[in-house]
Amino acid sequence: MNEAAITLDGWYVLHDFRQMDWTSWKQVDPELRKEATDEFVAFLDELQQADDAKTGAHAFYTIVGQKADFMLMTLRPTMDELQELEARFNKLTIAEFTIPAYSYVSVVELSNYLSADSNEDPYQNAHVRARLYPELQRSQYICFYPMDKRRDGNDNWYMLPMDQRKELMRSHGLIGRSYAGKVKQIISGSIGFDDFEWGVTLFSDDVLQFKKLIYEMRFDEVSARYADFGSFFTGTILAGEKRETFFNL
């Protein structure tokens, strides 16, 4: 019997990580550098309009460490809109001075492991909608990583009966809930879209809470036995005038 979890799917998500080619950027005439920065900030302002209208969302963060210099995360109702935004970014002058570092394509996902049976249409439920089409708080810190559920010998998540997965997810959810108010998480599904099965995006004003939450989950069976992880990216917010000063020399 097919016991696939039933998912609710929300906005499509693109995480776009770039490195700055600082050497070339430094060689650019200061006036042109300012124009290119202004053009990019205008693009970010336009993205903000979609956040304000709740027709999409975006997040713009520097990445600490050598994996990337910044990450632009965009969420939209269709994959086509994400593709258009990506293409528009690539045509901005500043993009000529960026080097692609990593990207991740997914769709915000809620599964039915812990949902109560109900006849109501979940897509009309306000709580469900707030999670499928999330408003992104301007938290100080972000953490992103892709992950899989393991399919290895006796540790095969996809061979477990639904009841057992539900039980395991209950314990996972309890740990997660103990971080309510401290960490906001967006789980986005990427089976068929990208190299791992999910993207995990965490937001917090206290960067240490990422480590505490992820560490605690490592001891929980769902993660200890069944999770495999990709690269981790951690960053700090670029908001207000930091969107410009980050590019100043």
Task: Identify whether 145 is a catalytic site residue.
Answer: yes
Query: What residues does 9 pair with on adjacent strands?
Result: 109
The answer to whether residues 204 and 182 touch, using CB atoms and an 8 Å cutoff, is: yes
148 is in an annotated binding site: yes
* Amino acid identity at 52: D
- Residue selected from 180, 181, 219, 240 as contacting ligand 76R according to rule CB under 6 A: 180
Residue nearest to ligand 76R (CB): 176
Joined tokens for residue 145: 């990583």
**Which one of 10-18, 19-27, 119-127, 175-183 is the stretch in contact with ligand 76R (CB under 6 A)?**
175-183
- Residue selected from 48, 83, 86, 113 as contacting ligand 76R according to rule CB under 6 A: 113
Joined tokens for residue 180: 């309510």
Between 20 and 147, name the residue whose CB sits nearer to ligand 76R: 147
The number of residues that bind ligand 76R (CB under 6 A) is 25
- Cα–Cα distance between 75 and 57 in angstroms, integer? 5
Between 1 and 116, name the residue whose CB sits nearer to ligand 76R: 116
What is the smallest separation between the CB atom of 5 and ligand 76R, expressed in angstroms? 5
Give 209's Cβ-side CA count (13 Å radius). Answer: 20
The answer to whether residues 142 and 202 touch, using CB atoms and an 8 Å cutoff, is: yes
Contacts 24+ apart (CB under 8 A), 131-134: 131/10, 132/8, 132/9, 132/10, 132/11, 132/108, 133/10, 133/11, 133/54, 133/57, 133/75, 133/108, 134/10, 134/11, 134/57, 134/75, 134/108, 134/186
- Using CB under 6 A as the binding rule, whether residue 214 contacts ligand 76R is answered as yes
Binding mask 67-106 for ligand 76R (x = CB under 6 A): ----------------------------------------
**Which one of 29-37, 95-103, 132-140, 217-225 is the stretch in contact with ligand 76R (CB under 6 A)?**
217-225
- Using CB under 6 A as the binding rule, whether residue 114 contacts ligand 76R is answered as yes
What is the smallest separation between the CB atom of 74 and ligand 76R, expressed in angstroms? 21
| SS3 (DSSP) at 197 | coil
- Residue selected from 147, 168, 186, 237 as contacting ligand 76R according to rule CB under 6 A: 147
Joined tokens for residue 173: 């959810």
- Using CB under 6 A as the binding rule, whether residue 169 contacts ligand 76R is answered as yes
- Using CB under 6 A as the binding rule, whether residue 110 contacts ligand 76R is answered as yes
How far from chain centre, in Å, is Cα 2? Answer: 29
The answer to whether residues 75 and 57 touch, using CB atoms and an 8 Å cutoff, is: yes
Q: Which residues are annotated as a binding site for Fe-coproporphyrin III?
A: 131, 145-149, 172, 185, 223
Residues within the interface to ligand 76R (CB under 6 A): 5, 110-111, 113-114, 147, 149, 169, 172-173, 176-177, 179-180, 183, 185, 187, 198, 200, 213-214, 217-218, 223, 227
